């Protein structure tokens, strides 16, 4: 009887494991933003994206999952400033 209960527990745990992993993955997510500057809009976006990767520790190898980044850019006499924001989920 105890072996049957153990087998039932193992099967139930196996079925529930994907749900617990996906639920815990949501708790490891946060919104991150970085700001870059450049003489052109593309340079400012590129710098902001690079700083975003560097600030999360993903500059050499990307180990985290990123949402599609959102950029907001503005122009001044000194050049372009872009702010990149993305949702980062740790694995």
The 10s digit of each residue's pLDDT in 38-79 is 999 999 999 998 888 888 887 777 778 888 889 999 998 899
In terms of residue numbers, what domain contains 59? 2-89
Torsion of Cα atoms, 34 then 40 then 41 then 44, to 10°: -10
pTM confidence score: 0.64
The residues facing 31 across adjacent strands are 87
Q: What domain count does the chain have? A: 1
Asked whether 38 and 50 are in contact (CB, 8 A), the reply is no
CATH number at residue 60: 3.10.28
């Amino acid at each position: 009887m105890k072996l049957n209960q153990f087998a039932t527990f193992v099967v139930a745990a196996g079925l529930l494991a994907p749900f617990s992993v996906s639920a815990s993955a949501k708790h490891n997510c946060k919104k991150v933003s970085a700001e870059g500057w450049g003489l052109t809009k593309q340079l400012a976006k590129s710098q902001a994206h690079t700083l975003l990767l560097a600030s999360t520790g993903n500059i050499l190898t990307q180990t985290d999952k990123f949402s599609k980044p959102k950029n907001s850019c503005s122009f001044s006499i000194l050049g372009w400033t872009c702010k990149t924001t993305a949702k980062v989920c740790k694995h």
